Amino acid sequence: MPELLAKKARHGELSDLLKDYSRQYYLGDAPGISDAVYDALYNELLEIEREFPLLKTKDSPSQKVGAKASRKFSKIKHLSPMLSLENAFNEDDIATFLERVRNLSGRDQIDLVLEPKLDGLSASLRYKNGFLMAGATRGDGMVGEDVTANILTLDCVPKKISEWSSFQDVEVRGEVVMKKADFRSLNESRLEAGEKLFANPRNAAAGSLRQLDSAITKSRKLTFFAYSLISEDYPPQTQMEVLKTLGKCGFTISDEIAFCQNQTEAFRFYAEMEQQRADLEYDIDGIVYKVNDLQLQQKLGASSKFPRHSIAYKFPAEKAETTVLNIVVQVGRTGNITPVAELMPVTVGGVVVSRATLHNRDEIEKKDIRVGDRVILQRAGDVIPQILSAIPEKRPENSVPFLFPNLCPCCGSALVRGNDEAATKCININCEAQMVERLIHFVSKLAFNIDGLGEQNIKFFFDSGFIKSPVDIFYLENKNSEIQLENFEGWGRQSVQNLFDSINKAKTITLDKFIYALGIPQVGRSVSKLVAGFFKSYESFLESMENKDVTGLLAVDGIGESILGDILKFFENSSNLNVLKQLAGNGKNGAVTILNVESPENNLLQNKTIVFTGTFETLSREEAKELAEKYGAKAASSVSAKTSLVVAGENAGKKLEQAQKLGIKIISEQDFLELIKKT
């Protein structure tokens, strides 16, 4: 029983995480994690459901496809479910897939078509009597977003197909991608315009297709690769015939297609494509194995989420070989010293990598990474550059081990290392490198959120002597008659005014964001909210920091001795305490106004533990949690005896069932919003 309860709790956590990440991926066009990390979490969920089948409810991520269509777009229903693909990660997974197909079909010989798994945004195109009438995203697999106006701007998509003039309904499915060269051109133009760069071609393609203004889509180079054809009037017999037909009709078809009659041929093609992926003109993250016979595809059918006739054999994280040109050490906001390898630029997974963190002294010594070494580089989870190992046989004869510095590279202070710590630190609070990093944190989006004060501008103001402390930011406009910032290169009258407007807008801030902005070690967003909820006001917080009286914080769930120690240590430094006093001031002459945590007597949510489950009409899950926390509640990810309230939306699953069993009060999204109004 204890094991089952633990697995249920973990299953709930995984479900929430996977649903949130799916929403970010499909609707936000910006995945919060890499595909590799998502796959690991998803496989963990599947493993739990295999061990405890009762946990697999209709609301489980294992039974869902994509994410519900955004409310920004009208909806289009697909002719048939637009399912995602099951993933394979090794040859045994493929062998199991083929054995399952043979068993279900009763055939010994299974012909396969192998296609690249394109890394873009799935889309379907609807043709009536040969004319393109509609375009939609995958959405939740049943209903997608209407992006017809944007699809019509793509030159590579045929708008009229004479051969289909007598067919009532034909649906073509494929992937909208941005080729690597087009992605580079787009980011170069955005860089020149001072706009935010896209992280990768997939994000660029998704963001470009899901524009409300089709003129933006038209201005970007997108390519639609077709791979599927659905029509009752015109049914091809094989997948190869589908691809040839689509090509003849004017659609773009991938050149990397293989017809394989056995497992050996299929594995050989996979290996070839894994070697060539970096040289392709578009990003792929695996190979799709499809049963060629379409009648057999129909016979095999599908589960609630995956077709049984296809599977995606994912590539492992891409690796590359390059040279370490230098090893430098950087000083972080809290004084941590991080070694970084400067590399001969190399393309890994479609991204040019020229730097990789070596984490700490132990990492360098363990892997024996040296300047001049040839090394194996991997983008961990296809995101973070990571040096896996050096290649000793390619090491220069005059190579010497890297000597970790004993002095801070910025201020020259002695570096220290705790007995139980991997980190080496500069403990000089006035170290300029730390001061710059603290300023960057102070103005960041989750803190004061000041536009126009990015990393480069902070460094400019610091080096110029205009901003040395967070307090200086709010007096910058007053000093500009002396500074005359508009006369500096890169600045003009309008950009200076925009900066001052942004600073003035940021002068009113909530207590939790203010505490977070200070950059106290271990005091992140969640701990900042706990601290603010305890003190309620800036005055109370300041008084406790001055008197070193914070023992009451230990009573707060989520704050322990270690966090308490870091808070005390931070304010033992008189400079930090002075900044705390000077920032608030009296709300005039450049000082900020800090809003108290409101706790009205009729606050019905104060200290309540709330669990949100299902899909809501007006709020995202994250918005609902933030709203609850704003009014003093704690948003939890799983239901337990400590849960005060469960807010259930559409398709609420096991959390709702668990709440019912425990007798916990359950309300709707509308009830929750009404509760907020009364608070």
Interval 362-403: pLDDT, tens: 889 999 999 999 999 887 544 578 898 999 999 999 999 999
Of 3.90.1300.10, 1.10.3720.10, 2.40.50.140, 3.30.450.40, the CATH number of 319-416 is 2.40.50.140
Per the residue annotation, which of 19, 56, 64, 117 is the catalytic one? 117
Please tell me the predicted confidence (pLDDT) of residue 63.
Answer: 65
Q: Write b or e for each residue in 396-434: b if 16 or more Cβ atoms lie within 10 A of its Cβ, otherwise e.
A: eeeeeebebeeebebeebebeeeeeeebbbbebbebebb
Of 3.40.50.880, 3.20.20.105, 1.10.1740.10, 1.10.150.20, the CATH number of 510-595 is 1.10.150.20
**Alpha helix ranges (H) inside 306-431:** 361-367
Domain boundaries, the chain: 2-64, 76-314, 319-416, 432-506, 510-595, 609-678
How large a percentage of the chain has pLDDT more than 90?
A: 34
> Torsions phi, psi of 102, nearest 5?
-65, -40
Whether 248 is a known active-site residue: answer no
**Alpha helix ranges (H) inside 254-321:** 263-276, 294-300
Place of tokens 């004869």: 397
What's the rounded mean pLDDT across residues 35-54? Answer: 72
What's the rounded mean pLDDT across residues 427-456? Answer: 89
How large a percentage of the chain has pLDDT more than 70?
A: 90
Please tell me the predicted confidence (pLDDT) of residue 215.
Answer: 80
The two tokens of residue 645 are 């309230």
Which has more confidence, 397 or 21?
A: 397
- Using the predicted structure, report yes or no on whether residue 287 has a pLDDT greater than 60: yes
Nearest alpha carbon to residue 95 among 266, 292, 307, 239: 266
Q: Does domain 609-678 have CATH number 3.40.50.10190?
A: yes
Distance of CA 497 to the CA centre of its chain: 33
The two tokens of residue 367 are 């892997």
Helix H or strand E encompassing 50: helix 35-51
What predicted TM-score, i.e. pTM, was given to this entire model? 0.51
The two tokens of residue 560 are 């322990």
CA distance 565 to 550: 10
- Using the predicted structure, report yes or no on whether residue 119 has a pLDDT greater than 60: yes
Q: Does domain 432-506 have CATH number 2.60.40.1220?
A: no
**Bridge partners for 645 per DSSP:** 610, 665
Please tell me the predicted confidence (pLDDT) of residue 323.
Answer: 93
Please tell me the predicted confidence (pLDDT) of residue 649.
Answer: 82
Residue 331 identity: V
Please tell me the predicted confidence (pLDDT) of residue 573.
Answer: 83
pLDDT tens-digit map of 444-484: 988 999 988 988 899 999 999 999 999 999 999 988 888 89
Of 3.40.50.1370, 3.40.50.300, 3.30.565.10, 3.30.470.30, the CATH number of 76-314 is 3.30.470.30
pLDDT tens-digit map of 150-204: 899 898 999 999 999 888 889 999 999 999 889 888 888 877 776 777 777 888 8
Pair 636, 643: CB distance under 8 Å: yes
Quick one: pLDDT band at residue 64, thresholds 50, 70, 90? low
Nearest alpha carbon to residue 63 among 651, 647, 622, 616: 651
- Using the predicted structure, report yes or no on whether residue 211 has a pLDDT greater than 60: yes
- Using the predicted structure, report yes or no on whether residue 86 has a pLDDT greater than 70: yes
What's the rounded mean pLDDT across residues 335-339? Answer: 90
Helix H or strand E encompassing 529: helix 525-535
Which has more confidence, 198 or 594?
A: 594
Residue 464 identity: S
Mean model confidence pLDDT for the chain: 84
Residues with Cβ within 8 Å of 302's Cβ and at least 6 positions away in sequence, in order, are 81, 83, 308
Long-range contacts for 211-214 (Cβ within 8 Å, ≥24 apart)? 211/150, 212/72, 214/149, 214/150, 214/152, 214/153
The two tokens of residue 609 are 């533990």
The CA distances from residue 485 to 464, 491, 495, 572, 581, in Å, are: 11, 7, 10, 35, 28
Please tell me the predicted confidence (pLDDT) of residue 679.
Answer: 63
- Using the predicted structure, report yes or no on whether residue 526 has a pLDDT greater than 80: no
How is residue 336 annotated by DSSP? B
Pairing of strands 351-357, 337-348: antiparallel
DSSP string, 155-222: TTS-SB-GGGTT-S-EEEEEEEE--HHHHHHHHHHHHHTTPPPPSSHHHHHHHHHT-SSHHHHHTS--
- Using the predicted structure, report yes or no on whether residue 25 has a pLDDT greater than 60: no
Q: Say whether 510-595 and 432-506 share the same fold.
A: yes
Overall fold of domain 2-64: Helix Hairpins (1.10.287)
DSSP string, 206-270: HHHHT-SSHHHHHTS--EEEEEEEE-SSS--SBHHHHHHHHHHTT-B--S--EEESSHHHHHHHH
Quick one: pLDDT band at residue 67, thresholds 50, 70, 90? very low
